[in-house]
Amino acid sequence: MFVTATEFPGLLVLEPRVFEDSRGFFLETWSRRAFGVAGLDLDFLQDNHAHSVQAGVLRGFHFQRPPQAQAKLVWVSRGAVLDAALDLRRGSPTFGRVFGLRLSAENRLRLLLPRGFAHAYLTLAPDTDFQYKVDAPYAPELEGGILWNDPDVGFAWPEAAPLLSAKDGLLPRLRDFQTPFVFEQG
């Protein structure tokens, strides 16, 4: 596994080793040993899989508050998305900024989001399968989000009118959100 740090502290792009031949390919989607060798000590508790039928589906920006805040390892196994991570950690040098990355079945990249990031993605292809691991159980009473098109965040989504859930269209703006997340130098 190849690990690339981003300018966002703790936010990492992972590229798995892929073994390909005329039959297809093999890769490890996650390995405790490989993560340990890379200095990443995460204990994932749950795997999730979301399927979107059409391109232009936007999910997010979502997060879960402490004490059940979640680190996430995200990737696409079919199709493609524009993935976005919004830093909500008070005191972070990248607070309020978004890191965007195209994830696809073809590029096989993964994004590792530490706790304190809100997460969103926009499907770029029909029949997209988005998968992710989390290190804390789902706690609906602690879930939250930031409005996907908050002008204060200013992320340039390539779709002006994506297909959203009713809940995602009503999320607050960043300026109206009191973050419980604090940046810790690591």
| From 49, 62, 119, 138, active-site residue | 62
Which is catalytic among the residues 51, 119, 121, 132?
132
Q: Is 119 a catalytic residue?
A: no
Catalytic residue check, 62: yes
Nearest-angstrom CA–CA distance, 175 and 137 = 28
Q: Which string of b and e fits 16-54 if b means at least 16 CB within 10 Å?
A: beeeeeeeeeeeeebeeeebeeeebebebeeeeeeebee
Contact yes or no for 65/180 (Cβ under 8 A)? yes
Burial of residue 181, with CB atoms counted within 10 A of its CB: 0-12 exposed, 13-18 middle, 19 or more buried? buried
Q: Which residue's entry shows tokens 């232009």?
A: 56
The catalytic residues are 62, 132
